[in-house]
Structure 1
Amino acid sequence: MAHTPSAASSAHRPVAGLLLAAGGGRRLGGRPKALLDFRGRPLVENAARVLREGGCDPVHIVLGAAAGTVRERADLAAYVTAENPDWTQGMGSSLRVGLAALADSGAGAVLVSLVDQPGIGAAAVARVITAYEGGAELVAAAYGGRRGHPVLFGAGRWAAVAAGAAGDRGARDYLREHEDALTLVECADVAEPYDIDTPGDLFRLASPGAPRAGEGR
């Protein structure tokens, strides 16, 4: 597929990482997901490190629920943090805050990930970035052919993504409307896209690759 000159030139600019970590963990009894214990440290540290190790620089983190406590307990000195005062309105509001914070970053693209997916590591991030470096401006990791995270947006798409981000849909509507331009990168062999949403998911934090009881492998 041919790419425009602007797409080709932007591929030489850095890819910023944007970690959405504002959720209050409503289905976890109000335990902010950023503060969940993962190998002895707050989960947000792992998610931010994955972005950096996968090739993102800079890495921005959007905090919300218990933001002050997250800053106190988690070592986020290597990253840029922003706070979403409207985090209760859903993921869309955090995406808008993050994109606004990146407006003057000089990044050619942003790779968006979620704090509650510890099964997705640096290898998946790197694969998505490689597709961008090859000229793709809209990229998503796929698992068995099904779109998942992380997702990458070229800088020229940020305004439209932010305009459509609402509630818990995030960029879902935008991705659906631009499906013909979306490059999917299969990552099922290097990552697992489960979420930590309920108490029944917490076992994943102790053994990220373990199957849920009854699931098999």
Structure 2
Amino acid sequence: MRDARGIRAVNVLGVVLAAGAGTRFGGPKALARGDDGTPWLHRVVAALFDAGCDRVLVALGAESDAARMLVPAGAESLVVDRWSVGLAATMRAVLAHAVATDADAVLIAPVDVPDLPAAVCRRVVAAGSQDPPAALARAVFGGETGHPAIVGRLHWSAVTAQLSGDRGAGGYLTAHGALAVECADLWDGRDIDAPV
């Protein structure tokens, strides 16, 4: 991540979680598009890049061949072999990939928040910028937990150890007192679980 002068400030790897089958939605959300035809993947990846992430990784699973075609230029894709086991498998694959990078932290957002503003991402990153490898913060909207979340490198092995089934990092964030970053002034925090 770079500051206004282009100087490297915080090295954050943006992550889009888009591996699920989207059972309630009626199909993989990685393939979803807005009313204007723009893939949700493009919109969430753009928010992470616009927030200053130097790199963005898209985790794919269900219908990964078709979904990979929608990953925008400049973003990387990671096909998660065991995505059907649940969110934990996707998070494990993402964090294993992140360990091999020089990122200080990961900024994680699911694909089903296509209206996510870059301003929300920037605020969450700023909350963890004092000590990026130790960062642990997530957006809240009117006190309700939302997305994205930032998780510093010092937490990755512990997060990986507690992952199971269809649970992601949320339990770890709660148990370890992740900083709640209020963002209701910037967005409503709504994710999309059903076709609109």
- Shared fold (TM-score greater than 0.5)? yes
Is 1:192 the counterpart of 2:179? The answer is no
Identity %: 39
Determine if contact 1:120/1:191 at 8 Å carries over to the other structure.
Answer: yes
Unpaired segments of 5 or more residues in structure 2?
A: 1-7
Query: How far apart are the structure 2 equivalents of 1:33 and 1:103?
Result: 26
Q: Distance in 2 between matches of 1:124 and 1:96?
A: 25
Aligned to 2:11: 14
Matches within 5 A, 1:24-63: 24-29=21-26, 31-38=27-34, 39-63=36-60
Task: Give the gaps of 5 or more residues in structure 1.
Answer: 1-10, 203-217
Equivalent residue, structure 2, for 1:161: 159
Question: Which amino acid in structure 1 is aligned with residue 170 of structure 2?
Answer: R
What is the identity, as a one-letter code, of the residue corresponding to 1:125? C
Q: Whose radius of gyration is greater, 1 or 2?
A: 1
The alignment partner of 1:47 has SS state of helix
Answer 1 or 2: which has greater helix percent: 1
Superposition map of 1:114-125 within 5 A: 114-125=110-121
Q: Distance in 1 between matches of 2:89 and 2:119?
A: 28
**Contact 2:91/2:160, CA 8 A, preserved across alignment:** yes
What letter corresponds to residue 145 of structure 2 in structure 1? R
Partner of 1:174: 172
How many Å apart are 1:12 and its aligned residue? 4.5
Range that drifts further, 147-156 or 75-84: 75-84
Counterpart residue identity of residue 128, structure 1: V
Residue deviations 1:110-163 (CA, integer Å, cap 9, x gap) = 111100012321110000111111336111111112322111111010111111
Number of positions where the alignment pairs a residue of Structure 1 with one of Structure 2: 186
State the alpha-carbon separation in 1 of the partners of residues 42 and 189 from structure 2. 18
Distance 2:144 2:28 in 1: 28
Give 1:60 shift.
0.7
Q: C-alpha separation between the residues in 1 aligned to 2:174 and 2:142?
A: 18
What's the RMSD between the two structures over aligned residues? 1.6
- Counterpart CA distance in 1 for 2:48 and 2:108 is 9
Aligned partner of 1:162: which letter? T
Q: Which amino acid aligns with 1:42?
A: P
User: Normalised by the size of structure 2, how large is the TM-score?
Assistant: 0.88
State the distance in 2 between where 1:191 and 1:18 align: 20
C-alpha distance in structure 2 between counterparts of 1:147 and 1:134, whole Å: 22
